[in-house]
């Protein structure tokens, strides 16, 4: 009888699920919209119901399912299995996730933050190729991260390790959501890249359609900056050379401290693929400790939306083995 773990990736718009084997084979995966109304009180009951329905519809025996893992936004208390301050779920006060899940299923349940769980997925079955020492950066609306050393996530003293988005890359820069100034997130997230573009547009009024678009007060996206760079727009190339320097320096600092074999770039911005790498890698090599500059791989994530459920399932197997 093959052992199965359930991985859950809880997000503000959808909840993704997967049944997984120890080898990482997906037996079944599905998603439901996140019921964020009523202060998010329906979220856990909906998760429980959806899992029960999908177990019934499958050929799995309840005894095959060894544990459940979940990645959540907000501040996660791993020991207690609670979440607080997940604003996109309307979970403002403490939600007792583990308590409700273990009562419903009577098997171990383990919770971690969403970026950590995605990092584990990419390390195991994605661009990390199951290497034990991997760092993951997710470049989305914000910048998140996860650090894996010797095959395990690093959590630190207060469970806040891996906050790569708040690495300082500028002494005087944009103010970050965390209240500090000059964090990586303010210049390398999708919104950060647009902020850099807005700051730099003035000098390119006559040479770039994109710069003119900004100066005319119209909305642009990070995607349009990459698309213009592909067409050799000098302004877009200038913006990405700045962003690439910030990311390259951040990756070099991470590599100098942790010496991972691979740094994986994921999230929406990473869809720019090799174009993004062409700006990041030279800056990484220029700034990293010489012995590791050429030996650390900087790669684009490969699992896209599946990283969360796969990482959550991997966490579940790990917790099942410990109990």
Contact in structure between 53 and 37 (CB atoms under 8 Å): no
CB of 188 to Zn ion, least distance (A): 12
In whole angstroms, give the CA distance from residue 49 to residue 128. 33
CA dihedral sign of residues 281, 286, 287, 293: positive
Q: For the beta carbon of residue 59, count every other beta carbon within 10 angstroms.
A: 8
In whole angstroms, give the CA distance from residue 312 to residue 153. 12
| Count of residues of this chain found to bind Zn ion when the rule CB under 5 A is applied | 5
Residue 105 CA, distance from chain mean position: 28
Q: State yes or no: residue 176 binds Zn ion (CB under 5 A).
A: yes
- Residue 201, burial from CB neighbour count under 10 angstroms (0-12, 13-18, 19+): buried
CB of 81 to Zn ion, least distance (A): 27
Region near Zn ion per CB under 5 A, out of 22-30, 61-69, 145-153, 180-188: 180-188
CB closer to Zn ion out of 186 and 262: 186
CB of 143 to Zn ion, least distance (A): 9
Q: Residue 152 to residues 14, 60, 296: CA-CA distances in angstroms?
A: 27, 29, 19
Among 178, 205, 209, 231, indicate the residue that binds Zn ion (CB under 5 A): 178
Q: State yes or no: residue 183 binds Zn ion (CB under 5 A).
A: yes
Q: State yes or no: residue 187 binds Zn ion (CB under 5 A).
A: no
Kindly state the helix (H) or strand (E) to which residue 208 belongs, with its residue range: none
CB of 181 to Zn ion, least distance (A): 8
Q: How far apart are the first and last CA of the chain?
A: 19
Binding mask 99-138 for Zn ion (x = CB under 5 A): ----------------------------------------
CB closer to Zn ion out of 97 and 169: 169
CB closer to Zn ion out of 122 and 185: 185
CB closer to Zn ion out of 160 and 180: 180
In whole angstroms, give the CA distance from residue 315 to residue 180. 32
CB closer to Zn ion out of 61 and 178: 178
CB closer to Zn ion out of 184 and 280: 184
Region near Zn ion per CB under 5 A, out of 102-110, 124-132, 172-180, 258-266: 172-180
Q: Residue 70 to residues 123, 175, 191: CA-CA distances in angstroms?
A: 16, 31, 27
Question: Comparing C-alpha atoms, which of 81, 2, 96, 4 is closest to residue 314?
Answer: 4
Binding mask 132-171 for Zn ion (x = CB under 5 A): ----------------------------------x-----
CB of 78 to Zn ion, least distance (A): 22
Q: State yes or no: residue 303 binds Zn ion (CB under 5 A).
A: no
Residues in touch with Zn ion (CB under 5 A): 166, 176, 178, 180, 183
């Amino acid at each position: 009888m093959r052992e199965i773990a359930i991985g859950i990736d809880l997000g503000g718009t959808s909840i993704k699920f997967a049944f997984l084997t120890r080898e990482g084979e997906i037996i079944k995966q599905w998603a439901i919209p996140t019921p964020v109304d009523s202060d998010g009180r329906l979220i856990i009951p909906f998760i429980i119901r959806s899992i029960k329905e999908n177990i019934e519809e499958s050929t799995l025996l309840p005894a095959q399912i060894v544990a459940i893992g979940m990645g959540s936004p907000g501040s996660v208390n791993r020991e207690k299995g609670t979440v607080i301050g997940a604003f996109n779920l309307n979970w403002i006060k403490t939600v007792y996730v583990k308590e409700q899940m273990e009562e419903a299923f009577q098997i171990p349940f383990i919770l971690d933050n969403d970026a950590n769980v995605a990092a584990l997925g990419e390390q195991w079955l994605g661009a990390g190729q199951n290497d034990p020492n991997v760092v993951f950066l997710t470049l989305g609306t914000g910048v998140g991260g996860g650090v894996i050393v010797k095959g395990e996530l690093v959590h630190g003293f207060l469970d806040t390790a891996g906050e790569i988005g708040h690495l300082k890359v500028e002494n005087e820069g944009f103010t970050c959501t965390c209240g500090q100034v000059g964090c990586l997130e303010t210049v390398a997230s999708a919104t950060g890249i647009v902020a850099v573009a807005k700051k730099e547009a003035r000098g390119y009024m006559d040479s770039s359609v994109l710069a003119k678009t900004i100066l005319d007060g119209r909305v642009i996206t990070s995607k349009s900056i990459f698309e213009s760079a592909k067409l050799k727009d000098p302004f877009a190339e200038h913006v990405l050379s700045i962003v690439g320097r910030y990311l390259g320096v951040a990756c070099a600092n991470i590599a100098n401290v942790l010496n991972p074999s691979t740094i994986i770039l994921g999230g929406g911005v990473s869809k720019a693929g090799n174009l993004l790498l062409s700006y990041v890698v030279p800056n990484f090599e220029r700034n990293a400790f010489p012995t590791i500059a050429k030996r650390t791989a900087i790669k684009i994530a490969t699992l896209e939306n599946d990283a969360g459920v796969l990482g959550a399932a991997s966490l579940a197997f790990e917790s099942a083995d410990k109990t």
